[in-house]
Structures are given as structure tokens and as C-alpha cells.
Amino acid sequence: MTDGQWLFTIFAALYLIECARWVPGAVWMIAGAGRSWRVRRPLQHLEVAGRKLLLLPVLPPLRVHLLTLPWQFVPSTPGLEHLPQDGGAPFLIPWPELAPKAEGGLLHLSAGHHLRLPDEGTATAWAQRLQGWSGLGAEAREKDFLKHARQSLDAAAIAAQAAALCARTRTLRLLGGVIFLWCFGVITAVYRWLGDGYEVLIAAGLLLLLLWVQAVVFWRATRKLDAPVKHRFWKTLAIACLPQHAMRAADLLCHGQPITAHPLAAKGLLDDTAWLRLARHFWKTIRHSQAASAALQTRALESFFKSHSIALEQLDETPEKQPGSAAWCPRCMAQFVDAQSVCKDCGGVQLKPF
């Protein structure tokens, strides 16, 4: 490989690193801009230190992203239920043993049981809420959870947050796209056709000018934020010097905000087909859950669907029958030959015959 090819490869690798985020596996990301939004999830089979890899949209036009979380903590009569999002069995913590404490992004629930959350703000908010639940009666806990569920499913709130984020990062995303095309398109073409001459130096100088403009825009855009950007000066300096940081400058405004929204709150952002697929996933997961709090979660979802005129019949689906199958699991949609058995992968969910 030539020196130019090595440089191109290194720049591409550094850019991909900037597009990667390590987040808890329960996170659902809503990425897009304007009327085009999509759901993304972390890679479930790649985990490092309790976090999984989530790749942001790579190619221009660059997008904003919002992180959402399903309900992970639900009160029940015997104790707090921690609901894993990987299909595992719920973990019950008796109320006398519950001792919530936030330590950075780590939320300690009891002795020997903790959970990694996306950021310190989210962990602190949940620690405070769980401390409040431990001092309430069963009815008051359920009432407070239903209130939290309504807030987390507020479609208008997440739509307004997405619109504000798009407006705040519009110039950063536009310049990021220009820098991407200049770095991987213009300079590459100039080097390819004109060789290592003064033309490449001129193109590199214009790239540096674009980086400085992006740094100024970033510094001004982060002056008045509800959640200040940590290490703002050093990040601005990196944007002014390194193309990969300048391309992803808008992502820094998407980070650091406490996560309160449930993925289903993105109803006004996703198209009808994508949102219905999402609704069916959560409906069948909760409806056929073995958790003691399943009834409470079902009430919260039914209230949400009713407020949006979504008939529950729309959420029930039957898979296409495979040859030799006699029944299917209504939660994971796996098919079975014996209609009298149960789905062990889903904790003993009763099968439905075709």
C-alpha cells in the first residue's frame, strides 16, 4: 500500500471508532432527522464490561440520535422486579433488601446486585425513584409506576426533543457531511489523479479551515445547554484538529441527557410499519411474561394503546406455518411439533396451536 492508502485507511478506521458507542444492552436507539427515523439496537453477542456495541449511522446525511429504555424496574407486592431485556428470568429484590445507590453509570440495587445504565444522570434518577418506592405502600408504588409509564410513553415529548435536537445540530451535521465528503472524496480524488503535489496541500489546507469553522460552531452551540458537554474545551480542540471528531461533532450534543423515554414513545417519529413492529414486540413480551408485575405493565400498555386508538387485535400476530409444525410460541414466535409442550426458552410460555 502507498502512503496515501495507509493514511486513508487510518482515517477511515478512526472515523468508524467515532461512530461506535458502547451502551447497556437494554438501550434502543432512535436515529434520524426530519421525517426519516429508524430503530437501532446494540449487537447482542458482543459485550465488554457490561456494555454492547451500538453503531451510529455512518454515511451522510448525518443524523441525530435519541436513546430510549424499556421498563427495567417494576414494583410488585413481594419486591422490586428487575426485568432483563435479553429474555432472561426476572430478578426479584425484596423491599427490605432494596438499597439503591448510583455510582457513576452503575446502579446498585442490593448487596451483590447492580446494573449498568447509559449514564450517570439516568442512574441517579432511578436511584431516587427506587428510594421513594421503598418507603411507599403497594398501591402507592403501582400508582407512581403508572405515572412514570405515562411520562415515558409521552410521544409529544420525545418528538419535541427530537425536533429541538435536529434544529440545534443542523449546522454541525451539515458541516460534518461536507468534511466527510472533502476528506474521503475530494482529497482522495486529488491525490489519486494529481499525485503528491501542491494541489493536495491546498485541499488539506481547506480541510483544516473547515475543521476550524466546525470547532467555532460547536463551541457556540454548546454554550447554553441543559446538560453541559463535559470537557468542552478539549473536545472543541479535538474538533479543530482531527477530521473524525469534526465529522461526528453533532453526536456530542446527543449525549449526556438522562433517558426517560420508552421506545414506544417514538410513535410520532417512526413510520407506521416500523412502530407497529415495535409495539407487537413489547406487547407479546409483556403479555406472556412470567414476571409478577406483568399485569401492572399490561395495564400501562393498554392505557397507552387506547389513548392512541390502537386496537389490541392489531398487536396479535400468527407466524406462517412451517411444514410439520403444530404450534407456536406467542412470545418468541418459535414453532414446535408438539402442541402440548411449552417454550422453555421463554420460561415455560404455553404454546398456541395452529
Digit-by-digit pLDDT tens for the chain (354 residues) are: 666 678 778 888 999 999 999 988 889 999 998 888 999 999 878 778 778 999 998 988 999 999 999 999 999 888 899 888 766 678 888 999 988 998 888 889 888 888 888 888 888 889 999 999 988 888 999 999 999 999 999 999 999 999 999 999 999 999 999 999 998 888 888 877 877 777 888 888 899 999 999 999 999 999 877 777 888 999 999 999 999 999 999 999 888 666 789 999 999 999 999 999 999 989 888 887 778 888 899 999 999 999 988 888 888 777 777 776 767 777 777 777 666 677 776 766 777 777
Residue 86 confidence (pLDDT): 67
Q: Which domain holds residue 345?
A: 319-354
Pairing mode, strands 64-68 and 73-75 = unpaired
Instruction: Count the domains in the chain.
Output: 2
The secondary element (H helix, E strand) that includes residue 39 is: strand 36-40
Q: Is residue 307, in this structure, part of any structural domain at all?
A: no
Spatial separation of the C-alpha atoms in residues 235 and 130, rounded to whole Å: 35
The secondary element (H helix, E strand) that includes residue 192 is: helix 187-194
Pairing mode, strands 349-350 and 342-343 = antiparallel
Residue 111 confidence (pLDDT): 83
Do residue 352 and residue 273 come from a single domain?
Answer: no
Do residue 72 and residue 208 come from a single domain?
Answer: yes
Do residue 2 and residue 63 come from a single domain?
Answer: yes
Q: Is residue 295, in this structure, part of any structural domain at all?
A: no
- 187's grid cell: 482529497
- Which of 11, 221, 224, 284 lies closest to 235, judged by CA? 221
- Which of 258, 237, 254, 233 lies closest to 246, judged by CA? 237
Of 278, 309, 329, which closes a domain? Answer: 278
Do residue 195 and residue 327 come from a single domain?
Answer: no
Spatial separation of the C-alpha atoms in residues 294 and 271, rounded to whole Å: 28
Do residue 256 and residue 350 come from a single domain?
Answer: no
- 92's grid cell: 426479584
- The three-point CA angle 221-29-92 to 5° equals 125
Do residue 177 and residue 326 come from a single domain?
Answer: no
Spatial separation of the C-alpha atoms in residues 236 and 206, rounded to whole Å: 18
User: 29: helix, coil or strand?
Assistant: strand
Do residue 244 and residue 337 come from a single domain?
Answer: no
Spatial separation of the C-alpha atoms in residues 44 and 47, rounded to whole Å: 7
Do residue 89 and residue 223 come from a single domain?
Answer: yes
Of 253, 278, 303, which closes a domain? Answer: 278
Q: Is residue 33, in this structure, part of any structural domain at all?
A: yes
Other CB atoms within 10 Å distance of the CB of residue 143: 13
| Centroid of chain to Cα 239 | 25
Residue 290 phi/psi, 5° resolution?
-90, 5
Residue 88 confidence (pLDDT): 67
Do residue 16 and residue 115 come from a single domain?
Answer: yes
- Which of 55, 32, 31 lies closest to 43, judged by CA? 55
pTM attached to this predicted model: 0.86
Q: Is residue 107, in this structure, part of any structural domain at all?
A: yes
Do residue 261 and residue 338 come from a single domain?
Answer: no
Of 223, 249, 278, which closes a domain? Answer: 278
- 143's grid cell: 400508582
Do residue 235 and residue 324 come from a single domain?
Answer: no
Q: Is residue 296, in this structure, part of any structural domain at all?
A: no
Q: Is residue 303, in this structure, part of any structural domain at all?
A: no
> CA 37 → CA 23, 63, 146, distances in Å?
20, 9, 28
Residue 129 confidence (pLDDT): 92
State the first-to-last Cα distance of the chain, in angstroms, to the nearest integer. 59
Q: Is residue 95, in this structure, part of any structural domain at all?
A: yes
Spatial separation of the C-alpha atoms in residues 93 and 77, rounded to whole Å: 11
- Which of 354, 324, 328 lies closest to 341, judged by CA? 328
Q: Is residue 41, in this structure, part of any structural domain at all?
A: yes
Do residue 248 and residue 342 come from a single domain?
Answer: no
Residue 45 confidence (pLDDT): 81
